[in-house]
Copies of this chain bind each other. A is one copy, B any other.
Amino acid sequence: MEATTAQGRLRGGIDLGGTKIEAIVVDDGNTVLGSSRHPTPSSGGPEAVAAELVKAVRAACDAAKTEPSALQGVGVGSPGVVDEATGAVSTARNLPDWEGSFELGAAVSHELGTPVMVGNDVQVATDAEFELGAGRPYQSLLGVMWGTGVGGGIILDGKPWLGRGGAGEIGHVVVKIDGRRCPCGRRGCMEAYAGRAAMEARARRKHEDGTDTDLFKIMKERGRTKLTSAVWAKALEREDKLATELIDEAVEALGAGIASAQNLLDVQAIVIGGGLGVRLGDPFVKRIRKAMEPHLFNDANWPEVMLAGLGDLGGALGAALLVSRRAEGTPAPVAETPSAPG
């Protein structure tokens, strides 16, 4: 049957986020044939998450009229520290009870009967923008994923730059010495001002201290327990004073932090994505660009500053690319093992 041959080239991709799991099945042209969105379990640890990933892939396969075992493989974009070689994920703080290391790739692969490759969520989203999205015309790229936290993915000379495995932490670039406390525990990180989790914590404190805001009313209206990107967008639309103030601070911090990164890297293009980035869209990309102006050193030679082109699907598409990259034998991204001095 011809279908078998075609299905041999189908790939799965999973974007594993703190609130949702998005699974897709794509063909060799990266067209999405089926997808499925599940809430991320809020308890049960890595095993519960792995089980939900399996369900999400099965549902996406059903939608695409295929079987998990017929897939060429499944890629997972995961938060936390990812070992691409083994598929192990450790210290994924946004996932439930995930303090130690868990062999996520092996666990999911065992259930699905197909190879599973795991990559860093922000890096795979950046890879997707580079290969399929807004970053296609460029050879060097900085992806800024503005969501619960602020993550960065780096492409240099056409290849992901991972450093020793920990590169791209743009959320923890310092924008204010002795500044605001970051969810990571440090002070003055860009994420302390711009991460959705940090903004929510601040909004809650301000609200408890008597500051008037519609943020939590909108949250309840929408049946949410967290200030999602949609809640922030709605509050801004209503010109809620606290929401506007916090988003203004976030934009200022993003401008300083992204300009700092550009002063160091001098890439051709910067792509803004992530939950908040995609939700707030082009007008906010323009505002972030404006906020970079006071800090950009090489201001005679601006990089392109663009909205992510793949929207919400970038993470899952990038995860699916992990499979084709592995299959094509494309050299692994440049990651270095620490070498001891002589």
Contacts from A to B (Cβ < 8 Å): 136-140, 152, 154, 156-157, 161-170, 172-177, 179, 184, 186-189, 252-253, 256-257, 259-261, 263-269, 294-295, 297-298, 301, 304, 334, 336, 338-342
Contact = CB atoms under 8 A, between A and B. Distances in A.
- Count of chain copies: 2
Contacts of A260: 172-174, 260
A40 to B, nearest CB: 23
Please report whether the interface of chain A is mostly helix, strand, loop or mixed according to DSSP.
Answer: loop
Contacts of A179: 176-177
A261 B264 contact: yes
A208 to B, nearest CB: 26
A273 to B, nearest CB: 17
Contacts of A259: 174
A301 B188 CA distance: 21
Contact of A263 (B169, B256, B269, B338): B169
9 contacts: A139-B339, A163-B266, A164-B298, A169-B297, A172-B260, A172-B297, A174-B175, A177-B256, A189-B295
A78 to B, nearest CB: 17
Contacts of A162: 266
Contacts of A156: 156, 161, 334
A89 to B, nearest CB: 15
A304 B188 CA distance: 24
A172 B268 contact: no
A282 to B, nearest CB: 15
A342 B267 CA distance: 17
B266 A166 contact: yes
Contacts of A138: 339, 341
A263 B191 CA distance: 13
A165 B140 CA distance: 13
A174 B257 contact: yes
A300 B301 CA distance: 37
Given A256-B174, A266-B165, A157 B261 contact: no
Contacts of A189: 295
Nearest to A253: B177
A164 B252 contact: no
A154 B256 CA distance: 21
Given A184-B297, A301-B338, A177 B252 contact: yes
Contacts of A154: 264
A152 to B, nearest CB: 7
Contacts of A165: 266
